[in-house]
């Protein structure tokens, strides 16, 4: 149960950070490109790489902190960071083909699933 609380605490902070950054950047830029979420995804992916390496090399016994910062904070900030790490981890294992298939399938199918969800509600429900 302790692990769940660490993830929840980090997730709350990450979600609020994503919201704040997205709102702040939306006020600074035009609305032709989603700069807020783009920035969140890139920063979150950078942070995931840094944290995964630090926990592996410097803090291997810090499981609660790892859960709070990676699964929690970065999970709340952006799930794109976990996706990015999965792709890189597959590539580092020499599974480049699987990494490419995973990346393309994840992006394409997620976009199609979102569009399908919108269509279902707009056409069949409301």
pTM for the structure as a whole: 0.78
Tell me what pLDDT residue 26 has: 82
- pLDDT one-digit tens code per residue, 106-125: 999 999 998 998 999 999 98
pLDDT tens string 45-65: 999 999 999 999 999 899 999
Residue recorded with tokens 């709350």: 12
Sign of CA dihedral 110, 116, 122, 126: negative
Q: Return mean pLDDT, the chain.
A: 91
Q: Which residues contact 37 (CB under 8 A, 6 or more apart)?
A: 22, 78
Among the listed residues 45, 28, 32, 25, the one whose alpha carbon sits nearest the alpha carbon of residue 103? 45
């Amino acid at each position: 149960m302790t692990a769940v609380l660490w993830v929840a605490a980090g997730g709350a902070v990450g979600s609020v950070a994503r919201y704040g950054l997205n709102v702040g950047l939306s006020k600074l830029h035009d609305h032709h490109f989603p700069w807020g979420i783009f920035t969140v995804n890139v920063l979150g992916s950078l942070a995931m790489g840094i944290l995964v390496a630090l926990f592996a090399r410097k803090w291997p016994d810090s499981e609660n902190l790892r859960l709070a910062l990676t699964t929690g904070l970065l999970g709340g900030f952006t799930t794109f960071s976990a996706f990015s790490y999965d792709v890189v981890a597959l590539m580092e294992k020499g599974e480049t083909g699987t990494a490419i298939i995973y990346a393309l399938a994840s992006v394409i199918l997620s976009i199609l699933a979102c569009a399908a969800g919108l269509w279902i509600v707009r056409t069949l429900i409301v």
